[in-house]
Amino acid sequence: MAAETAETEHHNEVRLVGRVAAEALERELPSGDVLVQLRLVVRRRAHRGTPPRQPIDTLDCVAWLAAPRRSLLSLDPGDTVEITGELRRRFWGGASGSSRYEVEVHKAKRLARASQLSA
């Protein structure tokens, strides 16, 4: 297989700006790994002047590393946040198990507090 060039190199990068749906949840897995989960609500934009049938997307975000875990835990429901990371598909439950896509968070930055938005 030929070496990939910069133009064809695979790339997985996600940037989301949205509203924190609920308080972040810290969990310890049976393996002992700790993660923080957060749900982000992002408005869809209209295409060709037509409003979308579903006006929002609700996206699951997860942080495994200490710095992004702390960032997610510092956010409040209703805050507007920018999240950057990578799209991941997680599997669980064995051969007949389930899977889902989520954003693995590298950085989370609060853009506005919920209290500022309602004032």
What length does the chain have? 119
Domain span including residue 100: 14-118
Q: Please check whether residue 1 lies inside any domain of the structure.
A: no
Instruction: Name the amino acid, one letter, at 71.
Output: S
Instruction: Residue 48: give its domain's CATH number.
Output: 2.40.50.140
Q: Tell me if 2 is assigned to some domain.
A: no
Query: Is residue 55 one of the residues assigned to a domain?
Result: yes
Number of domains in the chain: 1
Alpha carbon distances (Å) from 53 to 16, 46, 48, 57: 20, 9, 13, 11
Residue 61's Cβ-side half-sphere holds a number of Cα atoms within 13 Å equal to 37
Q: Is the pLDDT of residue 118 over 70?
A: no
In a domain, 7, yes or no: no
What is the pLDDT at residue 23?
96
**Is residue 9 in some structural domain?**
no
Instruction: For residue range 10-35, list pLDDT tens digits in order.
Output: 999 999 999 999 999 999 999 999 99
Identify the CA nearest to 81 among candidates 41, 54, 118, 49.
41
Residue 110 lies in a domain: yes
Parallel, antiparallel or unpaired: strands 56-63 and 98-112: parallel
For residue 119, what pLDDT band results from cuts at 50, 70 and 90?
Answer: low
CA distance 93 to 111: 37
Residue 6 in any domain: the answer is: no
Residue 111 within a domain: yes
pLDDT tens-digit series, residues 60-102: 999 999 999 999 999 999 999 999 999 999 887 777 789 889 9
